[in-house]
Amino acid sequence: MQDSFVHKGKRKILVDYLRHKIGISDENVLKAMSEVPRHLFIESIFEDFAYEDRAFPILANQTISHPSTVAEQSELLQVKPGEKILEIGTGCGYQTAVLIAMKGLVYTVERQKELFDFSKKKFRELHLSPKFQSFGDGFAGLPTFAPFDKVIVTCGASVLPMELLKQMKVGGKMVIPLGPTDEQVLYRFTKVSLTEFEKEEFGAYKFVPMLNNTNQ
Ligand code: SAH
């Protein structure tokens, strides 16, 4: 599979939809999503639908998020070029690629070995360079590389991962879905001092669950 004018045209339509129907206004997000070839991150049988606002199954019973969810999480993160971003849940690597296209320095963690391997290969094929890619449990974060400007969690957490709050810079932000497995609420936490956080709420979503430990 390659990236063609047809794919580029479909991405333009998707970006118009994200701008006008979903209300995304961060030009950095819209530009990144007009560039990243989402169809190359999913199975070829879904290629024709890659630029519709749909989630698809990926390896290890996980899902690639809806483009509107990727856009909303990316916008809420308020990424500035050169910021250090910790991503929990690499999955197929699409959200990672969007953050890289937004000029973030991305440190990404995945607990499913199959997806860790898949995304590693994908990044190599597409000449994308996350700063660091880890096979591990995102609940632990990446203490060696902390503190981070931004943290994005792409799976639904039933409890707030305290370690991730610790690994944020003061002034940093974390976007995370929190709640039970059937439905979560998307939150943005801003670290206003070493011990204080501001919490904002952005509606209901359904993400795959954030699980403990790793799966070989
Ligand atoms: N952003 C991804 C979304 C994948 S779904 C994409 O664009 O494809 C969420 C991912 O979070 C899954 O791959 C799942 O395995 C992973 N995940 C769940 N719990 C985790 C944890 N504790 N640490 C790291 N990754 C986790």
Tell how far the Cα of 180 is from the centroid of ligand 1, in angstroms.
Answer: 16
Tell how far the Cα of 23 is from the centroid of ligand 1, in angstroms.
Answer: 26
Q: Which residues contact 152 (CB under 8 A, 6 or more apart)?
A: 73, 74, 77, 85, 86, 87, 88, 95, 99, 174, 175, 176
Nearest to 172 by CA among 154, 198, 153, 139: 198
The confidence score (pLDDT) of residue 85 equals 99
The confidence score (pLDDT) of residue 37 equals 98
Say which of 4, 25, 44, 65 is annotated catalytic. Answer: 65
The confidence score (pLDDT) of residue 38 equals 98
Rounded mean pLDDT of 197-209? 97
The confidence score (pLDDT) of residue 1 equals 74
The pairing of strands 197-205 and 184-191 is antiparallel
User: Does residue 8 lie in a domain region?
Assistant: no
Residue-wise pLDDT for 151-173, tens only, equals: 999 999 999 999 999 999 999 99
* Minimum CA distance residue for ligand 1 atom 20: 210
Atom of ligand 1 nearest to the CA of 41: 8
User: Does residue 45 lie in a domain region?
Assistant: no
Instruction: Measure the CA–CA gap between 126 and 129, rounded to whole angstroms.
Output: 9
Q: What confidence tier does 51 reach under pLDDT thresholds 50, 70, 90?
A: very high
From the CA atom positions of the chain, what is the Rg in Å? 16
User: Does residue 187 lie in a domain region?
Assistant: yes
User: Does residue 80 lie in a domain region?
Assistant: yes
User: Does residue 72 lie in a domain region?
Assistant: yes
- Whose structure tokens read 């609940």? 139
Contact 161, 167 (CB under 8 A): no
Q: Is 4 a catalytic residue?
A: no
User: Does residue 49 lie in a domain region?
Assistant: no
Q: Which residues contact 196 (CB under 8 A, 6 or more apart)?
A: none
Q: Does residue 178 surpass a pLDDT of 90?
A: yes
Instruction: Measure the CA–CA gap between 102 and 96, rounded to whole angstroms.
Output: 10
DSSP bridge partners of 112: 215
Tell how far the Cα of 124 is from the centroid of ligand 1, in angstroms.
Answer: 19
Q: Which residues line ligand 1 (CB under 6 A)?
A: 58, 62-65, 88-89, 91-92, 94-95, 109-112, 115, 137-139, 154-155, 208, 210-211
Phi-psi region of 78 (alpha: psi -120 to 50; beta: other; left: phi over 0): left
Q: Provide the whole-model pTM.
A: 0.98
Query: CATH no. for residue 176?
Result: 3.40.50.150
Q: What confidence tier does 76 reach under pLDDT thresholds 50, 70, 90?
A: very high
Q: Does residue 216 surpass a pLDDT of 90?
A: no
What are the two backbone dihedrals, phi and then psi, of residue 77, each rounded to the nearest 5 degrees?
-75, -20
DSSP bridge partners of 200: 188
**How many structural domains does the chain have?**
1
User: Does residue 30 lie in a domain region?
Assistant: no
The confidence score (pLDDT) of residue 91 equals 98
Rounded mean pLDDT of 176-203? 97
Task: Indicate the average pLDDT of the chain.
Answer: 97
Q: Does residue 34 surpass a pLDDT of 80?
A: yes
Q: What confidence tier does 123 reach under pLDDT thresholds 50, 70, 90?
A: very high
User: Does residue 40 lie in a domain region?
Assistant: no
Contact 163, 140 (CB under 8 A): yes
**What is the residue range of 195's domain?**
54-205
